Structure 1
Amino acid sequence: MAQPDWHAPPENDSPPRKAGIKIHNSLTSRKDNFVSLAETVSWYACGPTVYDDAHLGHARNYVSTDIIRRILQDYFKLDVNFVMNITDVDDKIIIAAREQHVLDQWLAGRSSVDDEVRKNTSDAFAWFVDKRLPDLPKHTVFTNYVDSFEQSYGHVLQGKSTANDGTPPGDDEAKVKRYHKEALAAVNALEAGDSNLQSFIEGASSVLKPHLDSLHGHLIDGSDHNIFTKLTKKYEQRYFEDMASLNVLPPDKLTRVTEYGPQIVDYVKRIQDNGFAYEHEELPKKVPIDEESVNENPAKAKSVYYDTGKWVASGGEYARLKPASKTDKAAQADGEGSLASKDSTFKRSAADFALWKASKQGEPFWESPWGKGRPGWHIECSAMASDVLGKQIDIHSGGVDLAFPHHDNELAQSEAYWCEQGHVDPKNQWVNYFIHMGHLSIEGQKMSKSLKNFTTIRESLATKEFTSRRLRIIFLQGAWGSGLEISKTVKETAAKWEESIENFFLNVNDLPEMKDLSLASNGTSGTASSLDGALQEAKQAFREALQDSFDTPTATRSIADLVSKYNTEANSDRRVPNATSLSIARWVTEMVHMFGLDATRLQPEQIGWSGSTIPDEGKQFVQALASWRDTVRAQANDAPSEAKWPVLDDLPGAQNPDNAYAAAYAAFSQRVSKLTEVSATKAACLQESDYLRDTVLWDLDIGLEDRDGRPSLVRPLSARARRERAEAEEKANAKATAKAAKEKEDQEKLEKGKLSPLEMFKTDEYSEWDADGMPTKDKDGKEIAKSAGKKLRKRWDVQKKAHEAWLKSQEA
């Protein structure tokens, strides 16, 4: 189904137009010339829904958005007003906050796992599996859960669909696995017999929370927003901590839904006044009153729904982004939220959606002309973006999963808000450029908060699965609007790119001439080089790539190609002029900083990124140790046998205990002072130089690379060096394990040989033996059969050899 017409902004001399930028626009599914409405580019981005930690899928969205923002601001030098929201009112948030609140209340006054706690948890477990895993037999309890699950859902764990009919598994199967994991944790808690309440709740909370909420959630006072913001404030703070760790710039303006209640009411009222919304009276749900309820007799409240049919009939467009999805009932239901009424027969069109929701018992509310209620999900962004940025916005962004229905609903309701007295002009589009960041999957699996199958950003960084820089490189090497799978190949490609740039920076910084080169030349003096032309070509290719809808994969390749050409030239007989080396290094440094690959501020004379040089507080100590090692290694190869150990000078600050480099230098100096008692033989010199490199400096995250005829290259430890050492250690450990297993096996064989073959058959099985100890009669006095005797003789021969080996080992 074709998208409706898009109306390009009027051509002007705005900075983006002069820059020649094209953007892949989700409103047209093509690349359009980027023309801003004013000198400053207005940009609204959908921010996080804060009820859990952000995961790597969110990182892909927010880091990719940050990269594009940096390109506009720091490369094309545009003025950008970047606005982002925090969704802190939402069905998922209400459920998560309420569940935590009722659990906290239930735990109040409890200090151990008593019979009542176990009984309540057992009841919660039965309720949980009945609601979440309906194919289980009725009355499944924790004691028979494992067998019941295997019978009902075992095929799901084997990678099949719940229907087990050959259809591929999807979200439904992922949910089964999530619920199974949560149920198993509760089973383990109930069966453990541990009286420690904290560890018990860690296992059982996933079944306790929803059950307690079903019993007591409706009693929560909806006017007490602190019950809900306690959760959202926690995860908002953690979100921004995660973004800082990923070097994502903070927004110029941050908006929160909880701070926009009255404005959202006014926004909905104007849409209704324009004739594109209708009211629906929500009947209060009857709930059992088992204790005093603060919402016992709520006044009848009304919800307000957007009238998509009326909007389209008046000449408006609906589903501008995804017209083929406008009849997708599953997506529409998901957009209405899990707390929405299942009865939608009152809607004038199946596509109609809630602008304002009458609050049920236990939900937060604001006063409104329609009674106590709360905002619909989609209206939140429209009201906040319109308040800050006005009637028309240059750029709106978000994850691709938000395109329908969230962003399509935003567009429809915002354009209904801004139309004059209900007069619809299709040319009055609220957003000119919509950009969507693609999905992220890891080894084929898409991450989702609701499915609980994600790796959080902080977990990934803490375990060093990724560094902030490596993750950003991965995103740079994938097109921002396309799906990206982090496979082994993708990881290796990013690692190679990072290592090549890192080595380039190290080599340029290590050039002896570079230390004295006048920076005033700005890289323009010196002998001409073919690399000067290569640099200009790289700059042109880089600019054209970024003009072409921020094509960062091509841009990063242009950097890598330039570095490769430099390395070829530098390693040949032709000498690269200092000015050329400096010019290339400066440009590459500026571009990697522009992409956000370094969290530190770029200094005027800087070459490289943080981590490509030794920290200032360690330079004098590390260089002194490296020089000492170079001297010792040279001495091991060339010096006479009576050579003396070189000494280490007493450097200023070497006794500073707060400086790890100084402390390592002082400790090794003491070691050197004791070496005067040991001859400086070749073996001793090499042993000390290896210890300094492999232990002292390695523990400081410093690597040394030996070079013929030149001092060793001092550098921060590279990812490759760490990887190679880890692989070597793993190989050595595997070899040691195999050796120990072999030695154990040999020892067991020797122990078996301890028994003499003369005695091995002297058991109750037999009654007579010959001179070799071979049985001749069984326990009943019957002669041993000839065939049986042959088998016994074979065993006897084997034991004889084993016994002889054992006797030999005893002599040793």
Structure 2
Amino acid sequence: MAQPKWHAPPANAASRRVDISIYNSLTSGKVPFDALTETVSWYACGPTVYDDAHLGHARNYVSTDIIRRILQDYFKFDVNFVMNITDVDDKIIIAAREQHVLDQWLAGRTSVDDEVRKTTAAAFAWFVKKRLPDVSEHRVSTNYVDGFEQSYGHVLQGKSTANDGTPPGDDEAKVKRYHKEALAAVNALEAGDLDLQTFIEGASSVLKPYLDSLHGKLIDGSDHHIFTKLTKKYEQRYFEDMASLNVLPPDKLTRVTEYGPQIVEYVKRIQDNGFAYEHEELTKKVPIDEESVNENPAKAKSVYYDTSRWVASGGEYARLKPASKTDKAAQADGEGSLASKDSTFKRSTADFALWKASKEGEPFWESSWGRGRPGWHIECSAMASDALGKQIDIHSGGIDLAFPHHDNELAQSEAYWCEKGHVDPKNQWVNYFIHMGHLSIEGQKMSKSLKNFTTIRESLATKEFTSRRLRIIFLQGAWGSGLEISKTVKETAAKWEESIENFFLNVNDLPEMKDLSLASNGTNGTASSLDGALQEAQQAFRKALKDSFDTPTAMRSIANLVSTYNTEVNSDRHVPNATSLSIARWVTEMVHIFGLDATPLQPGQIGWSGSTIPEEGNEFVEALASWRDKVRAQANDGASDAKWPILDNITTDGSPDNPYATAYAAFSQRLSKLQDVSATKAACLKESDYLRDTVLWDLDIGLEDRDGRPSLVRPLSARARRERAEAEEKAAAKVTAKAAKEKEDQEKLEKGKLSPLEMFKTDEYSEWDAEGMPTKDKEGKEIAKSASKKLKKRWEVQKKAHEVWLKSPAA
């Protein structure tokens, strides 16, 4: 298959100076990077804001941020980074409208009354019928759980809905999601007294679509606030999430709802250039209120892009994904609800909506075609062209956007910029398309529509990941390739982080490092073989980043240098402090360029945040560590129990917000109580352990004892945190296992309470022998020998259990 045509931009002196190659989706290969001007123009497809961002979004936007930082901070390009916010599309319209209708319905309600329950029950029945149609109506109203198990139980067991051996996919994930939502509504309905908020939290997933089906079409589409109320909330949360991941904000932000008139003009010009045609939508009756409709239907036209005319005029279509141009499923997915039920009017099946007549309950803007809203793809073309002009250096987004979104963007944008239908293939709208690979967690791809995702804020709050660890994972994977976060990937990232962190801690612990850190550079002093290792690492690092931002190789060059340094330090060979400083400064600068530290790089800084104790804590931490050293030294000398060391008297006045001062003051009060009662040696040693394991640990400070020398005090390493977490988890598991065993033993003991003489004396039998063994059943028939043998085995088991119980304290 022939590769899509691509025209290299004219050579730019600034670009040639660094000689970067970049993987370009337009060529399906690497090409030299040449920016059009001294400033790199970059447009990134931003989020669709109707829910919280998940880890799949983190993969896209963190990887984009890494490349942006490399261009800006390493290769020293000026970058004009523009990103859009999609705040109107099918999913947003539905989510915002559903929430609005629910809020309207709840207005004035304060409790779960009969009307609330009645409506929720109707919503539940409607929801199950629509989403889980195989569950019978009878089962919905009598026993939903059994009905679901009968119709879809095999899906919960990991099989397909057809139960024919085919592997499960999105359909099965949706069934599980709908079941979860239906079950939450069942639990709310069957619960006793619930406050209204708790009830709605459980039932909202069935109430929202049901109420929307009844009242959604009555919404005034000119009131954009109904829709932006939701999107503004999630836009703010998106940027909070990005800040927590240390993603730089865009230089310019555009929103679809702020570009309505410009999009109308954009579509008009494409039409004037001959690459779009109108289609009058089926007339529709406009609701007046819940009881009636306007019998004079509204008329409006939609505008479609003419792909056949574009190709016939010399343009290309589906340049990014040529094989997808006939993919009807992808085209339909790209159109969503913008697609017309009757598509026979289309001049080509590949044609797509530029402007769509709005339906009832949808937002609209006025235009010469009537009331309508933008097509999905046109928004980015209009905003990017407005912000960056006729040609753009870089356009980025997730790989799932390549077709149809980015391919349609390309076609319509180049149709917009051509002069009266004259297509010049050299006037390509975007020179470099870069697409970030998919992310999956333990083999599962995340999807907002399936609601099977882990949000960014959840993963950070539960400490499943830290911002730094997640970025390391992305750096160790190629930005354009799929990435699966597996146990091995997590462990590899952890080892890399721990290695670099320990390196920073060790260098900061070197004698006279504070004085060396003030020097303008670290090149003075005795030469070392490590100087050559540093130069090799720097060259390998630069070569990797010039090769399409190959961060996995660049990360290995850092790790290899640190490993070489550690080998040298652990040998008998002397490493000059100046050499250590040079290496540490370079590593520090590179990890900051990768965005692995959210705090700005300071002059002379070694390491990232967390590798040194903050200045406001030094005095207090040193005093606490010094006291502990004195206690341990006195204990080792075999001193008496009396007159143990007193903690230095440091004032904490004026430091109410300093956590180190607060911790120092609290610990000082603990010691005062001990000194008042002439603390024993054991008590002081106990306090020294409390200081290390609780006071300093809670301040993220580790303390390492060293025989005959002051203890080593430094920020907690990632390894120390992990080892303690593993130890606590192991201890907790041991306690849980012990409790489970005790419960099992107790239950077993309780079972032995029943005497074997009495165990079979039930209404199943009518006669028994002297040992309590049944001889006749309830109808007076003799017990068969085979059945008697089985009963005898049970009797013997119970006899042994009863003997154990008789010997127990409970007997």
Structure 1 residues 375 and 295: alpha-carbon distance in aligned structure 2, compared to 1, 3 A threshold: farther
Distance of 1:707 and 1:690 partners within structure 2: 15
AA of the residue aligned to 1:401: D
Q: How many residues align?
A: 794
CA distance, structure 1, for counterparts of residue 772 and residue 199 of structure 2: 62
**How far apart, in 1, do the equivalents of 2:774 and 2:266 lie?**
105
Return the alpha-carbon distance in structure 2 between the equivalents of residues 799 and 216 of structure 1. Answer: 66
1:403 and 1:433 mapped to 2: Cα distance? Answer: 12
Deviations 1:68-115 (A, max 9, x none): 000000000000000001111111111111111111111122222222
Q: Give the structure 1 partner of residue 258 of structure 2.
A: 259
TM-score (norm. length: structure 1): 0.91
Deviation of residue 142 (structure 1)? 4.4
CA distance, structure 1, for counterparts of residue 365 and residue 4 of structure 2: 37
Question: SS state of the match for residue 217, structure 1?
Answer: helix
Comparing 157-166 with 139-148, greater Cα deviation is found at: 139-148
Contact 2:301-2:369 at 8 Å conserved across structures: yes
Query: What residue in structure 2 maps to residue 132 of structure 1?
Result: 131
Deviations 1:340-387 (A, max 9, x none): 322211111110000000111111111111111111010000011111
Normalising by structure 2, what TM-score? 0.91
1:470 correspondence with 2:473:
no
1:750–1:805 CA contact under 8 A, matched in 2: no
Secondary structure in 2 matching 1:141: helix
Tell me which residue corresponds to 1:2: 2
Three-state SS of the structure 2 residue aligned to 1:597 is coil
Write out per-residue CA displacement over residues 204-258 of structure 1, whole angstroms, 9 at most, x where no aligned residue.
Answer: 1111111211121111111111111111111111111111111111111111111
| Counterparts of residues 4-403 of structure 1 (less than 5 Å) | 4-13=4-13, 15-137=14-136, 141-286=140-285, 291=290, 297=296, 299-403=298-402
Residue 783 (structure 1) aligns with? none
What per-residue deviation string (whole Å, max 9, x for no partner) do you get for residues 300-335 of structure 1?
A: 100000000111111110000000011111111111
> Compared with structure 1, are the counterparts of its residues 776 and 319 closer, same or farther at alpha carbon in structure 2 (3 Å cutoff)?
closer
Q: Cα distance 1:545–1:99, how it changes in 2: closer, same or farther (>3 A)? A: same
Q: Which moved more, 1:483-492 or 1:337-346?
A: 337-346
1:428 aligns with 2:427: yes
The one-letter amino acid of 1:73's match is Q
After superposition, the C-alpha distances for 1:501-542 in whole angstroms (9 at most, x for unaligned) are: 111111111112212326335001011111111111111110
Distance 1:684 1:98, change over 3 A: closer
Residue type of the alignment partner of 1:725: R
Distance 1:142 1:465, change over 3 A: farther
Give the AA of the match of 2:11: E
Within 5 Å, give how 1:504-523 maps onto structure 2.
504-517=503-516, 519-523=518-522
| Counterpart-to-counterpart distance in 2, 1:275 and 1:468 | 49
Provide the rounded CA distance (Å) in 1 between the counterparts of 2:542 and 2:805.
81
Corresponding position of 1:662: 661
Inter-partner Cα distance in structure 2 for 1:428 and 1:736 = 70
Write the distance in 2 (CA, Å) between the matches of 1:268 and 1:492.
51
Q: Kindly indicate whether the alpha-carbon contact (under 8 Å) linking 1:655 and 1:663 is maintained by their aligned counterparts in 2.
A: no
Structure 2: distance between partners of 1:74 and 1:159? 48
SS of residue matched to 2:11: coil
Q: How does 1:443-482 map to 2 (within 5 A)?
A: 443-482=442-481
CA contact (8 A) 1:654 1:665 kept: no
Shift of 1:42: 0.5
Q: Which amino acid aligns with 2:651?
A: P
Cα deviation 1:408-441 (Å, max 9, x = unaligned): 0000000111111101122221100000000011
Residue type of the partner of 1:102? V
Letter in 2 for 1:613: T
**Secondary structure, in 3 states, of the residue corresponding to 1:607?**
coil
Aligned-pair distance for 1:170? 1.4
Tell me by how many angstroms 1:139 deviates: 6.1
Query: What is the Cα deviation at residue 135 of structure 1?
Result: 3.0
Q: Which runs of 5+ in 1 are unaligned?
A: 780-786
Percentage identity across paired residues of the two chains: 85
Q: What is the CA distance between 1:292 and its match in structure 2?
A: 6.4
Corresponding residue for residue 712 of structure 2:
713
TM-superposed CA distance for 1:562, in Å, is: 0.8
Aligned counterparts of 2:346 and 2:768: Cα–Cα separation in 1: 96
For residue 713 of structure 2, give the secondary structure of its aligned residue in structure 1: strand
718-727 or 354-363: bigger deviation:
718-727
For residues 684 and 165 of structure 2, the distance between their equivalents in structure 1, rounded to whole angstroms, comes to: 68
**Contact 2:221 / 2:364 at 8 angstroms: preserved in 1?**
yes
Equivalents in 2 of 1:597, 1:64: separation in Å? 12
Distance change (3 Å), C-alpha of 1:644 and 1:16? farther
Q: Is the 8 A contact 1:220 1:362 kept in 2?
A: yes
DSSP-derived class of the 1:18 partner:
helix
* Aligned residue identity for 2:259: Y
Could you say if the C-alpha distance between residues 688 and 418 of structure 1 is closer, same or farther in structure 2, counting changes exceeding 3 Å?
same
Separation in 2, partners of 1:18, 1:57: 35
Q: Which runs of 5+ in 2 are unaligned?
A: 777-787
1:531-567 deviations in Å (ceiling 9; x for gaps)? 1111111111100110010111111111111111111
| Contact preservation (8 Å) 1:126, 1:140 | no
Q: Match for 2:628: what amino acid?
A: R
AA matched with 1:406: H
Change (3 A) 1:225 1:296: farther
Contact 1:655 1:662 in 2 (8 A): no
Query: Are the aligned partners of 2:12 and 2:37 in contact in 1 as well (CA < 8 Å)?
Result: no
Equivalence for 2:702? 703
Q: For residue 495 of structure 1, what is the aligned residue in structure 2?
A: 494
Preserved CA contact (<8 Å) 1:755 1:803: no
Indicate if the aligned counterparts of 1:306 and 1:355 stay in contact, CA closer than 8 A: yes
* Aligned counterparts of 2:774 and 2:456: Cα–Cα separation in 1: 75
Residue 708 to residue 203, structure 1, CA distance change in 2 (3 Å): same
